[in-house]
Amino acid sequence: MDQDIEKILFPATDIQARIDELAARITEDYRGKELTVVAVLTGALMFTADLLRRIPLPLKLDCISVASYHGAAESSGEVKFEQLSLPDIAGRHVLVVDDILDSGLTLDAILSRFHAECRPLSVRICVLLSKQRPRRKEIHANYVGFPIADEFVVGYGLDYDERYRNLPFIGVLKQVRQG
Let me know if 99 is a catalytic residue: no
Task: Specify the residue, 36 or 103, whose C-beta has the smaller distance to ligand IMP.
Answer: 103
Q: Does 43 bind Mg ion (CB under 5 A)?
A: yes
Q: Smallest distance, Å, CB 103 to ligand IMP?
A: 3
Q: Does 157 bind Mg ion (CB under 5 A)?
A: no
Q: Smallest distance, Å, CB 114 to ligand IMP?
A: 15
Strand order in the sheet with 153-154: 5-10, 170-173, 153-154
Task: Specify the residue, 43 or 171, whose C-beta has the smaller distance to Mg ion.
Answer: 43
Catalytic residue among 102, 150, 159, 161: 102
Query: Out of ligand IMP, Mg ion, none, which partner does residue 153 contact, by CB within 5 to 8 A per kind?
Result: ligand IMP
Catalytic residues: 102
